[in-house]
Amino acid sequence: MSGSLTNRTQFTDRKTLLRRRLSNIFIVLVSLTVFILVWWGLSIIFNLKYFPPPDQVFQAFVKSFNVPDPNLGITMWQNIWASLQRFLQGFALAFVIAIPLGLLMGFLPWVETFSRPIVELFRPIPPIAWVPFFFVAFGAFLSPILTVFIGVFFPLLSNVILGVKSVDDSLLDAARTQGAGKLALFTKVILPFSVPYLMTGITIGMGVGWMCIVAAEWIAASGGGVGYYILVQQQVGFYDYMFAGMIVIAILGLLTVTLSGWAEKIIRSRMGML
């Protein structure tokens, strides 16, 4: 009797969940349809070549993947690959510097006292403001990578510091009572506890990174890139292709942030933080 009740409850829960998911999918579809219809309507009303309708942008989007761009001689795949490489390199650089630094700043007060003024001085500077300097100092190859690095570095650093500082004192006391030394405290308590915060930093950094790469590629980019593609289409007046490039950036940003958010969710759930 009790088992049958539990089964029925579970069935009802699953049904409710399914209904909620279907309803959410429906709302998302309606939202996208409304967006496309509004875009279409406005493009018809204004009738401007630099504000093309969605069907024209869609055609340009498809063509950009199949036919090399006449201005650059490469397809959108190659542009995506060029941007993705820069994104990963900038991200990796931020990853290897921000995490150890953040852990040290959170764990050792004197490191924080020493580093904080420098970090706080640089943090408010928008990554894009560095682009002209990076371009002249490091050239077209390194400049976009370094811009992504700046964009990802600070959210990552802040979240790692936050993670270390959020460790419950009772956890630390318990570990100390068990005889844990500084190294053990760091590796067995602080480091694992910081991981979910680190993942939050990565998710934020992913979004910022794509914004940075577009701006950086606008100054100069070696080997193309989606940001550079957008700029060139604007310069020659292929606005349908320019919008196609913007959609590609949106998709790439969405994909990477979703992927990172998913990883963050898994880790938080494993840590019992959800």
Partner 1 sequence: MEKKTVILAVAIGAIVLVAAIAATFFMTPAPQKGKVIYWIQIAPKDQQANFASRAIDAGVSWEPYCSDSVLAGDAHVLKWSGEIWPNHPCCVLAVKTSFLNANPDLVARITRAHIEANQWVLDALANPNGANYTLLMQMGASFSGRSIAVVQAAVEHIKYSYQLSTEVQNGFKEFTRMFIELNQTSLGQYANVEAFLADFVDTSVITAAMSVQPSEEILGEVRIGYLTGDLHQFARVVAMNATVGGGKTLYQKYGVSVISPNPAGYLNGGAVMDAFAAGVIDVGYLGAPPAILKKLNVGTDIKVVALANSEGSAILALPDIQSFDQLDNKTVATPGPSSIQHLLLLVYAKERGFEVRLKGT
Q: Binding residues for partner 1, per CB under 8 A?
A: 49-50, 70-74, 78, 81-82, 84-86, 88-89, 91-93, 95-96, 99, 135-137, 139-140, 188, 191-192, 195, 198-199, 202, 219-224, 228, 232, 234-239, 263, 266-267, 270-271
Nearer to partner 1, 145 or 249 (CB): 145
* 91 in Cβ contact with 179 (< 8 Å): no
Smallest gap, in angstroms, from Cβ of residue 247 to partner 1? 20
- What is the C-alpha to C-alpha distance for residues 256 and 219, in angstroms, rounded to an integer? 24
Element holding 257 (H helix, E strand)? helix 239-270
Q: CB neighbours of 236 closer than 8 A, spacing ≥ 6? A: 71
Smallest gap, in angstroms, from Cβ of residue 257 to partner 1? 14
- What is the C-alpha to C-alpha distance for residues 58 and 111, in angstroms, rounded to an integer? 52
| Closest among 266, 212, 208, 218 to 242, alpha carbons compared | 218
Smallest gap, in angstroms, from Cβ of residue 147 to partner 1? 15
- What is the C-alpha to C-alpha distance for residues 31 and 249, in angstroms, rounded to an integer? 20
Smallest gap, in angstroms, from Cβ of residue 141 to partner 1? 8
Nearer to partner 1, 27 or 80 (CB): 80
For residue 117, what are its two tokens? 């003024």
Nearer to partner 1, 17 or 67 (CB): 67
Smallest gap, in angstroms, from Cβ of residue 84 to partner 1? 7
Smallest gap, in angstroms, from Cβ of residue 9 to partner 1? 28
One-letter amino acid at 241 equals Y
Other C-beta atoms closer than 10 Å to the C-beta of 8 total 10
Smallest gap, in angstroms, from Cβ of residue 139 to partner 1? 4
* 64 in Cβ contact with 76 (< 8 Å): yes
- What is the C-alpha to C-alpha distance for residues 170 and 92, in angstroms, rounded to an integer? 34
- What is the C-alpha to C-alpha distance for residues 158 and 201, in angstroms, rounded to an integer? 7
Nearer to partner 1, 40 or 133 (CB): 133
* 252 in Cβ contact with 148 (< 8 Å): no
Nearer to partner 1, 82 or 150 (CB): 82
Nearer to partner 1, 126 or 139 (CB): 139
Nearer to partner 1, 84 or 108 (CB): 84
Count of residues making up the chain: 274
Q: What angle do CA 246, 247, 253 make, to 5 degrees?
A: 90
Nearer to partner 1, 30 or 266 (CB): 266
Give residue for tokens 């994909």.
255
Smallest gap, in angstroms, from Cβ of residue 210 to partner 1? 15
